[in-house]
Amino acid sequence: MNSKYSQLFQPFSFAIGVSLKNRLVMAPMTNFSSNPDGTVSDEEVNYYARRSKGVSMVVTACTYVAPNGKGFQGEFAADRDEMIPSLKQLASAIKEEGAKAILQIFHGGRECPPDLVPNGDVVSASAVPSERNGSVTPRELPEDEIEAIIRAFGETTRRAIEAGYDGVEIHGANGYLIQQFFSPHSNRREDRWGGSIEQRLRFPLAVVDEVVKVAAQHAKQPFIVGYRFSPEEPETPGITMADTLALIDALVEKKLDYLHVSQTDYKAKPRRGIDDTRSRLEIIQERVDGRIPVIGVGSVYKADDAVEALKTGVPLLALGRELIIDPDWVEKIESGREAEIETKIDKSGQKRLVVPDPLWQAIINTPGWFPGIE
pLDDT of residue 191: 97
| b/e burial code for range 60-94 (CB count within 10 A of at least 16 → b) | bbbbbbbebbbbbebbbbbbeeebbebbbbbbebb
64 sits in which H/E element: strand 57-64
Count of domains forming the chain = 1
Handedness of CA 332, 264, 187, 114 (dihedral sign): negative
Closest to 61 measured CA to CA, from 71, 300, 205, 14: 71
In a domain, 365, yes or no: no
Choice among 48, 64, 165, 176 that is catalytic: 176
Mean pLDDT of the chain: 96
Q: Which residue has the higher pLDDT, 39 or 297?
A: 39
Q: Do residues 74 and 275 make contact, with C-beta atoms less than 8 angstroms apart?
A: no
> Lowest mean pLDDT: which of 33-37, 143-147, 209-213, 341-345?
341-345
Proportion of the chain above pLDDT 90, given as a percent: 91
In a domain, 368, yes or no: no
In a domain, 356, yes or no: no
Q: What are 120-166's pLDDT values in tens digits?
A: 999 999 999 999 988 999 999 999 999 999 999 999 999 999 999 99
pLDDT of residue 255: 84
In a domain, 78, yes or no: yes
Radius of gyration in angstroms for the set of CA atoms belonging to the chain, rounded to a whole number:
19
In a domain, 364, yes or no: no
d(CA 374, CA 370): 8
- Residue 367 pLDDT more than 60? yes
Mean pLDDT of 194-211: 98
In a domain, 250, yes or no: yes
pLDDT of residue 315: 96
DSSP 18: -
Mean pLDDT of 165-187: 98
- Residue 54 pLDDT more than 70? yes
- Residue 373 pLDDT more than 80? no
In a domain, 282, yes or no: yes
Q: What are 224-271's pLDDT values in tens digits?
A: 999 999 999 999 999 999 999 999 999 999 989 999 999 989 899 999
DSSP 191: S
Q: What are 12-47's pLDDT values in tens digits?
A: 999 999 999 999 999 999 999 999 999 999 999 999
pLDDT of residue 369: 72
Residue 174 identity:
N
**At 81, which CATH number?**
3.20.20.70
Provide the residue range defining the domain that includes 330: 3-339
Q: How many CB atoms lie within 10 A of CB 47?
A: 25
Proportion of the chain above pLDDT 70, given as a percent: 99
Mean pLDDT of 70-92: 98
Residue 253 identity:
E
Mean pLDDT of 91-105: 98
- Residue 76 pLDDT more than 60? yes
| Known catalytic residue at 176 | yes
In a domain, 132, yes or no: yes
- Residue 372 pLDDT more than 70? no
